[in-house]
Structure 1
Amino acid sequence: MPRVLISDKLSQEAVAVFERRGLEVDFKPGLPADELLSIIGDYDGLAIRSATKVTAAVLEKAKDRLRVVGRAGIGVDNIDMEAATGAGIVVMNTPFGNSITTAEHAVAMMMACARQIPAADASTRAGKWEKSRFMGVELYGKVLGLVGVGNIGAIVADRAQGLKMKVAAYDPFLSEERAAALNVEKVDFDTLLAKADFITVHTPLTDQTRDLIDAGALAKCKDGVRIINCARGGIVNEADLAAAIDAGKVAGAAFDVFVEEPARENVLFDKPNVVCTPHLGAATEEAQENVALQVAEQMSDYLMTGAITNALNMPSISAEDAPRLKPYMKLACQLGSFAGQVTENGLKSVTMEFEGAVAKLNRKPLVQAALAELMKPFSDAVNMVNAPLFAKDRGIDVSETVHEREGDYNTLIRLTVETEDFTRSISGTLFGGGLPRIVSIKDISIEAELSEHMLYITNRDQPGLIGGLGTILGDAGINIGTFHLGRESTGGDAIALIATDAPVEGAVLEAIKALPQVIQAKPLKF
């Protein structure tokens, strides 16, 4: 009988689900870290929330028996994903179980900020009755700037419209059709900043969204704007926001998340009309019940039948398909990751084409793998299991085409993305031993192996690029591992893929962008 440990406070209904499905359960919420280390090797499954830290040390102790870690909730910051994957341990979460609760909290925080409710409450309890001090603003007729229109953002938009607010939305993956269905105005980021009376963010914290709302962004906002963050600490630069409040540019803010948590002190805490809560976005009885039941069902399915749902580090692949698909999975992930990192506009469609040997295999995991990596820069909730639903919710059309004939290569996968501004394709194949290789980008032939740090350049085919690029990287002490070139025609458009031993960023990247031949320079990470 599989054995499961629940080490955080989960609903007793989760215990009942495990027992009903035939599993043995130990319910030990608040388990100290040293005790977890000493007993984890006795379990097949570990069910947690956010308190338990599933470290590399825990996973090392557990790897001989533990098969699955289930997180009741969306965030997996407390799980060492790399160590779990290396140990062959499946990590699951419940990405949609607390969406309504989190969205409602964002709306509540917006209303509290608009009417200065926490400060007015404290003043009244102190016997001051400062009625004239707390002059609020109505939400009626105001523009809500929605940054991120995933599951939670869509619910916030619906609730805001119920309050008769106008919603302007920015999301690189939001299609015109999806925007129309949600009755929101799709805008670019700068337009949102200029129009919004309130701005609320609902994106993950990624390299693209870190400090998304900083001093520069705040300067583009209306005077008197109010900022709400119930997503992730770090999306809004806290120091820049505090300065904007001091300057009178920002009239108020409401934060449920912070860069450092638990937030014992913060630059925002002493600012006027700033409402702060201790990461309560998912803290309702209903949400906790939902995610507890979901994680128990998912873990039971896996431990009893091998079925995998909402796994973050493992695809839904049968035991028979796994060995044959493994190198193709890596190739599909690389193609998706490449496209995701260079796509900055709203996606309209994604097409995958399969030629030769790969056309005869189980292609669904390959499509899902590429799709998940394509959208990962914009959402840490997306994975191989929920990627198709994630795309559907954003109005992105996903299709595949099969060519059983062989072309220039024995096997080939081509990924094509269509945005509102362009259509771009990237193709790859497998060389000897199943090694993935990129063989074309934007229909320009180029043969390249991807490594951890890459620099992607589109340029004019003119003399001086290689010398100028080499000089800049050399002066910065950045070594070039490999250098791959391709061009449309003599003197036309060209591309370069450069592997470097260190990331290219900051002033070095800006210097490369300033080279006269360069059209675009984009650092990539694999």
Structure 2
Amino acid sequence: MAPKVLVSDKLSETAVQIFRDRGIDVDFMPELGKDKEKLAEVIGKYDGLAIRSATKVTPSLLEHATNLKVVGRAGIGTDNVDKEASSKKGVIVMNTPFGNMITTAEHAIAMMFAVARQIPEASASTHAGKWEKSKFMGVELTGKTLGVIGAGNIGGIVCDRALGLKMKVVAYDPFLSEEKAEKMKVEKVELDELLTRADFITLHVPLTDGTRNILSKENLEKTKKGVRIINCARGGLVDEEALAELLKSGHVAGAAFDVFAEEPATENPLFNLPNVVCTPHLGASTTEAQENVALQVADQMSNYLLTGAVENALNMPSVTAEEAKVMGPWIKLSEHLGNFIGQMTDDEPINAINILYDGEASTMNLEALNCSLIAGIMKSINPDVNMVSAPLIAKERGIKISTTNQAQSGAFEGYVKVTVKTPTRERSIAGTVFSDGKPRFIQIKGINIDAEVGAHMVYTTNEDVPGIIGTLGQTMGKHGVNIANFTLGRKEAKGEAIALLYVDDVIPAAALDDLKASGLFKQIKPLAFDV
């Protein structure tokens, strides 16, 4: 059955057609997002929800979203989506951070021109029939130093455009390497140096605990006299009251803001000050950008629902379509390993999980493999858990998760090994993917095996004595259970041994009782896997 997607905000018809062309059943109801009660009534039918900013994805809505797998936001901001509640529900939240990069960067450049030449005030004056040519004395951009705080995607475009305007560019960004700065033809500096050197300062960072009020009163006072400040990134990056005072004193010559600490901004300390240009969060407001983000979100959601590829997710590691093809068997293996451990430890709490990736496995997207493996473990606690919600559930339970990766160390080109610690013991299992693409269990409790994974299995431990194979075979035969695969392993002769049977049907309780009654087995555990 084809996945079903609801578009509840205004997306372009071209974007809606992308869903249809990919074979996805789509309902286009662009006004529905404004009616939260009606949206709650119908959301249970859909696998995907494509939105802009009008639709609010709340915990209340998610309670009704029984089939929802992905929310796609056409745009960057996802303040209208409760990401924690979505994660708990197992719903991926995607945005489109690259569809409006050019548009936002161009708006920052436009704002810089506007404040340098006092264009809005000069326009208003001229419209009023005044001819105040001498009042609006501006400054050139050529030869001036632009300080860019945040030289990522949008900031990098601003740097490039500024160089084209013959400006000198200094950039502060903890994640910018010297090599990348050299390639970009900008000078990498610390924040204090940027503040003292820049004639113009533009911000291009997200709002985080580390960047909130990055231009605080203290930092604003360090700036060069006559500086002009542009913020087209996020409200809250600048102390607006402190900036207003420095504008009044003349220390700051001008400011241009597209974003504000509180939006919609109906009043603000910067309003009605001379040489302050304000726009109502227009950074992404161009025809091209709105179309780009709509097309991008339709592609991303389609890719996920049809192939499992995860792009630009905010609550799960991204997996490209190419990675999904290669990693599919490894993701499934990780789930099986976790599921095995989870079923074996369903009677006691888990304190810690250690995951070892060897060889080929260590070169893959480990975050995605981690999520799959943790989901496999957590399913023994909550069958509705998935790759999105599992890490959050593990964190809430105080489970410590560690990861180790290493170069190829044995006969296999790569393998994954998981070790779980409980208050009383450790359990471990390892697996690999063979060339046929099928996952295999290759080690349990340090004992080497080669076991295909089946939907119905039974695991036993025993002393290495005669009669084990016969007892298992006869008991399964007695109860009409066909054995598809039978794997044995031991550490040493007459030492500890294990058996792993892959059978065609669920093992009857009577068969398990007979095995227990034989007295040959220390442990007998039926297992189930989603294959």
TM-score, structure 2 as length reference: 0.64
Instruction: State how 1:62-461 maps to structure 2 within 5 Å.
Output: 62=65, 64-315=66-317, 316=319, 318=328, 319-323=331-335, 357-359=356-358, 362-363=361-362, 364-366=364-366, 401-402=406-407, 404=409, 431-432=421-422
Counterpart among 48, 67, 84 of residue 51 in structure 2: 48
Counterpart among 36, 39, 43 of residue 36 in structure 1: 39
Percent identical among aligned pairs is 61
Q: Matched residues in 1 for 2:268 and 2:125: separation?
A: 22
Tell me if structure 2 keeps the 8 A contact 1:215–1:244: no
Q: 1:271 to 1:401 in 2, by over 3 A?
A: farther
Q: Matched residues in 2 for 1:224 and 1:244: separation?
A: 10
Write out per-residue CA displacement over residues 452-485 of structure 1, whole angstroms, 9 at most, x where no aligned residue: xxxxxxxxxxxxxxxxxxxxxxxxxxxxxxxxxx
Q: Matched residues in 2 for 1:30 and 1:259: separation?
A: 28
Determine the structure 1 residue equivalent to 2:509. Answer: none
Q: Matched residues in 2 for 1:326 and 1:288: separation?
A: 42
Q: 1:83 to 1:94 in 2, by over 3 A?
A: same
Q: Which secondary structure state, in structure 2, belongs to the residue aligned with residue 314 of structure 1?
A: coil
Q: Matched residues in 2 for 1:97 and 1:117: separation?
A: 28
Unpaired runs of 5+ in structure 1? 328-354, 371-383, 385-398, 406-410, 414-428, 436-526
Q: Matched residues in 2 for 1:368 and 1:135: separation?
A: 56
Write out per-residue CA displacement over residues 151-199 of structure 1, whole angstroms, 9 at most, x where no aligned residue: 1111000000111100000000111100000000111000000000000
Q: Matched residues in 1 for 2:90 and 2:421: separation?
A: 26
| Structure 1: 4+ residue segments shifted above 4 A | 324-327, 367-370
Question: Which residue identity is paired with 2:7?
Answer: I
Question: Which residue identity is paired with 1:12?
Answer: E
Q: 1:368 to 1:302 in 2, by over 3 A?
A: closer
Write out per-residue CA displacement over residues 336-363 of structure 1, whole angstroms, 9 at most, x where no aligned residue: xxxxxxxxxxxxxxxxxxx994326833
Write out per-residue CA displacement over residues 3-43 of structure 1, whole angstroms, 9 at most, x where no aligned residue: 21111111110111011111222222232222222221221
Say what the alpha-carbon RMSD is for the aligned residues.
2.7
Shift of 1:222: 0.7
Q: Matched residues in 1 for 2:273 and 2:109: separation?
A: 21
TM-score, structure 1 as length reference: 0.64
Unpaired runs of 5+ in structure 2? 320-326, 340-353, 371-387, 389-403, 411-415, 427-531
Q: Which secondary structure state, in structure 2, belongs to the residue aligned with residue 228 of structure 1?
A: strand
Q: Matched residues in 2 for 1:285 and 1:3: separation?
A: 28
Question: Which residue identity is paired with 1:156?
Answer: V
Write out per-residue CA displacement over residues 381-438 of structure 1, whole angstroms, 9 at most, x where no aligned residue: xxx9xxxxxxxxxxxxxx9752648xxxxx999xxxxxxxxxxxxxxx9644899xxx
Larger radius of gyration: 2
Q: Matched residues in 1 for 2:290 and 2:87: separation?
A: 27
Question: Which residue identity is paired with 1:11?
Answer: S
Q: Matched residues in 2 for 1:368 and 1:186: separation?
A: 33
Q: 1:357 to 1:154 in 2, by over 3 A?
A: closer
Q: Which secondary structure state, in structure 2, belongs to the residue aligned with residue 362 of structure 1?
A: helix
Q: 1:81 to 1:369 in 2, by over 3 A?
A: farther
Q: Matched residues in 1 for 2:281 and 2:336: separation?
A: 44
Shift of 1:50: 1.9
Determine the structure 2 residue equivalent to 1:18. Answer: 19
Q: Matched residues in 1 for 2:245 and 2:138: separation?
A: 21
Write out per-residue CA displacement over residues 34-88 of structure 1, whole angstroms, 9 at most, x where no aligned residue: 22222212211110112221111111111x1111101112222211111111111
Question: Which residue identity is paired with 1:127?
Answer: G
Q: Which secondary structure state, in structure 2, belongs to the residue aligned with residue 320 of structure 1?
A: helix
